[in-house]
Structure 1
Amino acid sequence: MSVKNSVRPHFSLGLLPLLLCPTLVQAAGFQLAEQSATGMGRAFAGEAAIADNASVLSRNAAAMTRFDEIALSAGVIYVRPDVNIEGETQVPTARGPVTLDASAHDIANAAWVPNLALIMPLGEEWRLGLSAGSYFGLGVEMPGRYNAGQFGNVSDIRTLDLGLSLAYRLNRHWSFGAGVNAIQGEGEVGGTFPANDMVAKHLKGDGWAFGWNLGTLYEHSEQTRVGLAYRHDVTLTLAGDAIGIDEQGRPFQDKGELDLILPASAELALFHQLTPALALHSSINWTNWSRFTQLEAQLDKHGTMHIKDEQWRDSWRYALGLTYRLSPDWQLRSGMAYDKSPVPTERRTISIPDSDRIWYSLGTGYRISQALSLDLGLTFIDGKQAAVHETMELRPGVAATRSTFTGSSEGDAWLAGMQLNYLF
């Protein structure tokens, strides 16, 4: 982000054992679905019940009981989004309101999203799991001197989730699992005055949070199983440096904290082996986005810095897929999903562009040996065009400083993933 007429302090972020840099998110809101290249090849349909490799740990800890050997999965997904803003902004000047072009193209960068999962048997009934991945992320940055920067010129959220899970098989039908998660997060949000690109409000920081998850797997038969998983919400507090403008219009630097809600989610998944070669699977996912109401920072010296109202609603995702065994060594996968946006029409913004989207996925799996297999996946996400209208007062409470944005946002994406799976 280009900053003029103000000094922006550098904030040093710690190096992570595994660096996750998700770009514009591919599930609803700023939620990430990319924890498995195998699952991506079927649009993540039935993910909490299939358990075809260790990456199931990212969705349902209870499904670990289907593994009688040490299982390892490691993969990466490449995300290439195409996100564009079209519209105009009206800004106040000494001579009256002026209308400016506020279009911005390719505002989300490509990224690599890795994942890792390890499942270890502990006797007959118990299983231990270790995982690393990311469930939330966002990367939107407007060009320098963007005419609508007052509505947000950068929104960047990166998370790393480290998980420890335990599963227990009660009998041949029922298994239960639970896990704890340590979440490291980094975030940056801000906006600029349109006249001179001067920082209006900006906060950049990092922090840790801890959460938990539960899951169960019901195996009606070897052909049919149902998975149910729940991941509890987490409040991630990002602490760091802040820049703002006080009530007298003077720039300031401060320290502060921003509480970011990472909402609860749940998945109900079904797997059914229809024939020896063909399996069908499906999922219904729910995310408690209604808890995401605003972005507001608490500063050490300057009190509350209100960044933006959000007021989202809960979202739903529906996925249907199939797996076809072409030969003992080859599998073909496909899937479709409908992802409902959590953002109400009247709450759409250019800083977190979001809309309903449809997933089209294809994948394949190849068994290299009895222990080693390779999975590949390819997905196109068709994001629908969404109208956006925003209004704000550059100086709160002063009607003469009212500014508006009127236009639309649209974002598609290609995802390509590769994953290796090994049984010890």
Structure 2
Amino acid sequence: MLPNMKPSLIALLVVSSQAQAAGFQLAEQSATGMGRAFAGEAAIADNASVLSRNAAAMTRFDSTAFSGGVIYIHPDVNIEGTTRVPTAMGPVSLDASAHDIAGDAWVPNAYLIMPLNDQWRLGLAATSYYGLGVQMPDNYNAGHFGNVSDIKTMDLGVSLAYRINEMWSLGAGLSAIHGEGEVGGTFPSNNKIAKHLKGDGWALGWNMGALLELSESTRLGLSYRHDVNLTLSGDAIGTDLQGRTFTDTGSLDLPLPATAELALFHQLTPALALHSSINWTNWSKFVQLESELDHYGTMHIKDEHWNDSWRYALGLTYRLDPKWQLRSGIAYDSSPVPADRRTISIPDSDRIWYSAGVGYQWDSKLSLDVGVTLLDGKKVDVTETMQLKPGVPQTTSSFQGTSEGDAWLAGLQLNYLL
């Protein structure tokens, strides 16, 4: 009975992977950074949003700094293919194409940096590092592989930074992470619920960073965010092997991986700055998914066995005059999902970021930033099989096709120095 819920829970990790960073990450923590493809983000520290990447860089601010904004995400994710399903008359092939299955989203953020004295800085942050979802069309023929998925997270953080000397600064922070998700699956060719789970939960995480200021024009940033297991608890609906609907309560541990960034910033001329980043994500932590239902015990959902992923970004900032600043960047984001483990619910692929941005200095205290990014995802093959009744080979269903996802991102941000 329990394995019938497998596809819906896997779908929790869905199409954000096609629209944003690798796996199911969100990289969009500021419009400023987005305008340069987040190249050099842990070292630049041009406004308070650096708090999302490196707490140590808060020592760059000698007065209270605030940054807040929102990023709009418009993904275009499409699946083409067929599913083969068992029937009383034998297996049949059905169209399983689905278009525009990822919904638009708004990702807000806010950051505050406050000097405590000459050496100490306090920071407060509210942002998101994981999220988005998918909705398959009604009567989707491959709904048993996952029909609806939605996950939202909010990261509320507090950080401290300490300046050791003119060159070195260290920082660390704690985060309270709230997540809520809804996932579901339907029987082939109809909307009858085969499985459904809706829940939420909290987790505690930590991060640390260092900033090395080699000169007035060159600095290096290194940051690390520890992995977290986010437990989502709530209500479940399923169907047993006799076709009877049951309800239960339970929980699912969702692994949020460790991440690290090495960033370089160099002011080449008074007008031109170059910056770059290398990001690592410990997706090899994502080995399997298991759910604990209160009345039906442990349910093994799926083996994943992802690989660690890497992201490489280059960017530049050009100051036209004291008020206007131009930004641009390009990044390559590698997928952690091995080719033989892609699914409809996690159709991850490598992607390239093309970014541009503009900053306007309204006065000595207030500035505005705008950023735009095109994410170009590769078209990849997806092959997936499952047994509708585990252990009964005659009930095997399969999907074979392709997945492709692009996205447009646009962000606006206000920065203020008190």
TM-score (norm 1): 0.93
Once residues 198 and 347 of structure 2 are traced to their aligned partners in structure 1, the CA distance between those partners, rounded to angstroms, is 20
1:401 to 361, 383, 395: 395
Q: 1:392 aligns with which of 386, 392, 396?
A: 386
How far residue 24 of structure 1 moved from its aligned partner, in angstroms, is: 6.1
Counterparts of 1:82-101 in structure 2 under 5 Å?
A: 82-101=76-95
In 1, are the aligned partners of 2:283 and 2:309 still within 8 Å (CA)? yes
Aligned to 2:69: 75
The reply on whether 1:241 has 2:218 as its aligned counterpart is no
- Tell me which residue corresponds to 1:122: 116
Alpha-carbon distance between aligned partners in 1 of 2:221 and 2:290, rounded to the nearest angstrom: 37
Aligned match of 1:290: 284
CA distance in 2, matches of 1:24, 1:320: 21
Instruction: Output the CA distance in 2 between the equivalents of 1:123 and 1:301.
Output: 55
Maintained 8 Å contact 1:238/1:257: yes
Q: Give the conservation status (yes or no) of the 8 Å contact 2:18–2:348.
A: no
- Secondary structure at the aligned position of 2:58 is classed as helix
Equivalent position SS for 1:322: strand
8 Å CA contact 1:23–1:79 kept in 2: the answer is: no
1:311-330 equivalent positions in 2, closer than 5 A? 311-330=305-324
| Counterpart position of 1:191 | 185
Unaligned runs of 5+ in 1: 1-21
Q: How many residues align structurally?
A: 403
Cα offset, 1:25, TM superposition: 4.5
In 2: Cα distance, 1:321 partner to 1:391 partner: 42
What letter corresponds to residue 236 of structure 1 in structure 2?
A: L
Structure 2 partner of 1:60 = 54
Report if aligned partners of 2:236, 2:248 keep a CA contact under 8 Å in 1: yes
Q: Read off the aligned partner of 2:144 and give its amino acid letter.
A: Q
Please tell me whether the aligned partners of residues 140 and 352 of structure 1 are also in contact (alpha carbons under 8 angstroms): no
Q: Deviations over 1:188-225 (max 9, x none)?
A: 22222104332222211000000000000000001000
> In structure 1, the residue corresponding to 2:22 is in which secondary structure?
coil
1:138-182 Cα deviation digits (max 9, x unpaired): 311111111001111122211000000000000000000000000
Q: CA deviation at 1:308?
A: 3.6
**1:179 aligned onto 2:152:** no
Contact map agreement 1:155 1:352 (CA 8 A) in 2: no
In the TM superposition, 1:360-379 aligns within 5 A as 360-379=354-373
Verify: 1:421 aligned to 2:394, yes or no.
no
Secondary structure of 2:359's aligned partner = strand
What is the letter of the counterpart of residue 178 of structure 2?
Q
Aligned-pair distance for 1:304?
A: 3.0
Q: RMSD over aligned Cα, in angstroms?
A: 1.2
Q: Deviations over 1:23-82 (max 9, x none)?
A: 965000110011010000000000000000000000000000000000000011111010
Mapped to 2, the partners of 1:248 and 1:171 lie a distance apart of 70
- Quote the residue 2:252 is aligned against: 258
Separation in 2, partners of 1:409, 1:77: 25
Deviation digits for residues 310-363 of structure 1 (CA, Å, limit 9, x no counterpart): 221111000000000110111100000000011110011111221100000000
Sort the Cα spacing of 1:32 and 1:116 in 2 relative to 1 into closer, same or farther, 3 A: same
Give the match for residue 7 of structure 1. Answer: none
Secondary structure class of the residue paired with 2:50: helix
- 2:56, 2:209 within 8 Å by CA — same for their partners in 1? yes
User: How far 1:187 sits from its partner (Å)?
Assistant: 1.2
CA distance in 2, matches of 1:157, 1:306: 21
Structure 2: gaps (5+ residues): 1-15
Moved over 6 A (4+): none
Of all paired residues, the percent bearing the same amino acid is: 75
- 51-60 vs 191-200, greater mean Cα deviation: 191-200
* Counterparts of 1:50 and 1:391, CA distance in 2: 47
Partner of 2:364: helix, strand, or coil? coil
Q: What letter corresponds to residue 152 of structure 2 in structure 1?
A: R
Instruction: State the secondary structure of the residue aligned to 2:33.
Output: helix
* Alignment check: 8 A CA contact 2:63 2:115 kept: yes
Query: In the aligned structure 2, how far is the partner of 1:382 from the partner of 1:25?
Result: 9
Q: Which residue of 1 aligns with 2:154?
A: 160
The one-letter code matched in structure 2 to 1:391 is T
2:29 aligns to what SS in structure 1?
coil
